[in-house]
Amino acid sequence: GQNIDQPTEMTATEGAIVQINCTYQTSGFNGLFWYQQHAGEAPTFLSYNVLDGLEEKGRFSSFLSRSKGYSYLLLKELQMKDSASYLCAPDTSGGYNKLIFGAGTRLAVHP
Amino acid sequence: SQTIHQWPATLVQPVGSPLSLECTVEGTSNPNLYWYRQAAGRGLQLLFYSVGIGQISSEVPQNLSASRPQDRQFILSSKKLLLSDSGFYLCAWSVHGGAGVFGTFGSGTRLTVV
């Protein structure tokens, strides 16, 4: 079976740093994606990790530990526009990019 | 560059009516194609995915079906809609055989069954 856990909601202050955790148990694994989704819109790609370690991309970084079934998304210098849902999505296929999404974490950034 | 088109943007349908949602991709060949559904306040649920023409994998038993009549066309259908079919439907594509190279989502169809 597939199980993906993320916190339901988080709040943070503009300019701060926030870490969104994701743990997963899947029948197959070929990397993990993070997506951002604003209310009423389609998700947009943020990052992809296939090897253990940290991938940095501007204000956003993503970490993966395959042995622990754990990933996190780190957002620095938070801006109001970062208020959105963040979706953790392991690729559970052998390269077919069969993404299974968690329920997502709703982040609210306050002034 | 690759683009994905999905229509209509919104749809209100009565219970028991048929459904047809269409998705097309441009600028790539032999993509993997996907249909996801998102219930209000929930995560995305994978409904179907396709790795080629006529090849459809269904992820969950449901009242829906999918077809891929052409390389870059993916259709989601139902013969009789249920109230529980309401939700935000998203089509997506990825590079065939390109692990980690997931493409983009369409803009989505918000379906309300009344």
pLDDT in tens, B13-58: 999 999 999 999 999 888 999 999 998 878 899 999 998 999 999 8
| Interface mutation vs chain B, best among A36, A45, A97, most B CBs within 10 Å | A97
Compute the nearest-CA separation of A40 from chain B (Å): 9
Looking at chain B from residue 5 to 44, which residues have their Cβ under 8 Å from any Cβ of chain A? 32, 34, 36, 42-44
Dist CA A104 CA A96 (whole Å): 22
Q: Say if the Cβ atoms of A97 and B108 lie within 8 Å.
A: no
B84 touches chain A (CB under 8 A): no
pLDDT in tens, A55-84: 998 999 999 999 999 999 999 999 999 999
Distance from CA of B8 to the nearest CA of A (A): 14
Contacts of B102 in chain A (CB under 8 A): 33, 45, 48, 91, 97, 99
Separation of alpha carbons B101 and B16, rounded Å: 38
Distance from CA of B22 to the nearest CA of A (A): 16
The vertex-A52 CA angle with A46 and A53, nearest 5°, equals: 70
Which pLDDT score, from 0 to 100, does residue B22 have?
95
Tell me what the mean pLDDT of segment A87-97 comes to: 81
**Does the bond joining B8 to the residue before it have cis omega, within 30 degrees of 0?**
yes
The residue with greater pLDDT, A98 or A105, is A105
Residue B106 reports pLDDT greater than 80: yes
Nearest to B94 among A97, A100, A101 (CB): A97
**Mean pLDDT, all residues of chain A:** 93
- Mean pLDDT on B95-110: 80
pLDDT tens-digit series, residues A14-52: 999 999 999 999 888 888 999 999 998 999 999 999 899
- Calculate how close chain A gets to B88, using CA atoms only, in Å: 9
Model pLDDT, residue A12: 97
Tell me: pLDDT of B109 over 90. Answer: yes
With CA atoms as reference, the chain A residue closest to B101 would be A97
- Measured from the Cβ of residue B59, the count of other Cβ atoms closer than 10 Å reads 16
